[in-house]
Amino acid sequence: MKTIINLKLGKVQRRITENHKIKLTYDTAVVDEVARRCNRGRKRRTHVDNILTNTLLPEISRQLLGHIAKGKPPSEFTLAISADGAFAYS
């Protein structure tokens, strides 16, 4: 499961780098949290796609576009897990 998550996050990293010249990094806690959220039910791969498409990608887009709109595009963007277990973006 974690291999699939890393592959899908790798695709997101490449798209952001290619399209915006911004380096996206994430730590293993992000992979662990996505895997934990996917362990509910049989369709785990579908859950990975849902988490990425409906949770992570929209917020990454909002954060990045907010910086770009202010004329301050970041050179690096980090995805992590906060103390309360939520996804954190910086």
| Res. 85 pLDDT band, cuts 50 70 90 | confident
- CA separation for the pair 75, 22 (Å, rounded): 5
Residue 38 has what pLDDT?
83
Q: What are phi and psi of 43, to 5 degrees?
A: -90, 65
Terminal CA-CA length for the chain: 26
Fold designation for 2-89: Helicase, Ruva Protein; domain 3 (1.10.8)
Q: Give me the helix-helix angle, 28-38 and 44-51, nearest 10°.
A: 130
Neighbours of 80 (CB within 10 A): 15
What pTM did the predictor assign?
Answer: 0.84
Query: For the segment 4-62, what is each residue's pLDDT rounded down to a tens digit?
Result: 999 999 999 999 999 989 999 999 999 999 988 887 666 666 788 889 999 999 999 99
